[in-house]
Chain A
Amino acid sequence: MTLSAEQELLAPITLRSELPAETLREMYHYMALARALDERMWLLNRAGKAPFVISCQGHEAAQVGAAFALQRGKDFTLPYYRGLASVLVMGMTPTEVMLALFARAADPSSGGRQMPAHYGSRRLKIVTQSSPVGTQIAHAAGISLAEKIKGGDAVAWTSFGEGTTSQGDFHEALNLAAVHRLPAIFQCENNEYAISVPIRQQMAVNSVADRALAYGMPGVSVDGTDLLAVYEVTRRAVERARRGDGPTLIEARVVRLTAHSSDDNDRTYRPQRELRSLRQHDPLARFVAYLHDHDLLSEAEAQELRAQIAAEVDAATEAAEQAALPDPETLADHVYGS
Chain B
Amino acid sequence: MSELNVLEAIRQGIDEMMAADERVFVFGEDVGKRGGVFRVTEGLLDKYGPLRIIDAPLAESVIVGACIGAAMNDTLPIAEIQFADFIAPAFNQIVQEAARIRYRSNGDWNVPMVIRAPYGGGIHGALYHSQSIEATFAHIPGLKVVAPSTPYDAKGLIKSAVEDADPVLFLEHKKTYRLIKGSVPASDYRVPIGLADVKRSGSDLSVFTYGLMLHYCLEAAQTLERAGTSVEVVDLRSLRPLDTATILDSVRKTGKALIVHEDNLTGGFGGEVAALIAEHVFEYLDGPITRLGAPDVPAMPYAKPLEDAFMLNPLKIATAMRTLAAY
0/1 string, A315-338, CB within 8 A of B gives 1 = 000000000000000000111111
A140 touches B (CB below 8 Å): yes
Could you tell me if B104 and A147 are in contact, using CB atoms closer than 8 angstroms? no
Could you tell me if A145 and B89 are in contact, using CB atoms closer than 8 angstroms? no
- A138, B89: Cα distance in complex, Å: 13
Residues of chain A contacted by B96 (CB below 8 angstroms): 130, 132, 135
- A234, B290: Cα distance in complex, Å: 62
**B91 shortest CB reach to chain A, Å:** 11
B201 touches A (CB below 8 Å): no
- A334, B77: Cα distance in complex, Å: 21
Could you tell me if B74 and A130 are in contact, using CB atoms closer than 8 angstroms? no
- A147, B106: Cα distance in complex, Å: 25
- A122, B71: Cα distance in complex, Å: 13
Chain B stretch 121-160: residues in CB contact (< 8 A) with chain A: 141-142, 144
Could you tell me if A156 and B109 are in contact, using CB atoms closer than 8 angstroms? no
B97 touches A (CB below 8 Å): yes
What residue of chain A has the Cβ atom nearest to residue B56's Cβ?
A176
Could you tell me if B72 and A168 are in contact, using CB atoms closer than 8 angstroms? no
Could you tell me if B65 and A173 are in contact, using CB atoms closer than 8 angstroms? yes
B237 touches A (CB below 8 Å): no
Known contacts A122-B108, A138-B93, A168-B89; A113/B103 CB under 8 A: yes
Residues of chain B contacted by A112 (CB below 8 angstroms): 106
Residues of chain A contacted by B104 (CB below 8 angstroms): 110, 113-114, 118, 120, 128, 130
Could you tell me if A139 and B142 are in contact, using CB atoms closer than 8 angstroms? no
Could you tell me if B109 and A335 are in contact, using CB atoms closer than 8 angstroms? no
Interface centre among B52, B75, B101, B105 (most CB of A within 10 A): B105
Could you tell me if A127 and B109 are in contact, using CB atoms closer than 8 angstroms? yes
Could you tell me if B105 and A140 are in contact, using CB atoms closer than 8 angstroms? no
Contact of A173 among B66, B71, B74, B144 (CB under 8 A): B66
Known contacts A120-B109, A175-B57; A336/B73 CB under 8 A: no
- A173, B65: Cα distance in complex, Å: 8
A residues adjacent to B (C-beta < 8 A):
76, 107-114, 118, 120-122, 127-128, 130, 132, 135, 137-150, 156, 168-169, 172-173, 175-176, 179-180, 333-338
9 contacts between A and B (CB under 8 A): A114-B104, A122-B109, A128-B104, A141-B69, A143-B70, A149-B51, A169-B65, A175-B57, A337-B110
Q: Which 6 pairs from chain A and chain B are nearest by CB?
A: A142-B69, A138-B65, A111-B106, A142-B66, A139-B69, A172-B62
B residues adjacent to A (C-beta < 8 A):
25, 27, 51-52, 54, 56-57, 59, 61-62, 64-75, 77, 89, 92-93, 96-97, 100-110, 141-142, 144, 164-166, 241
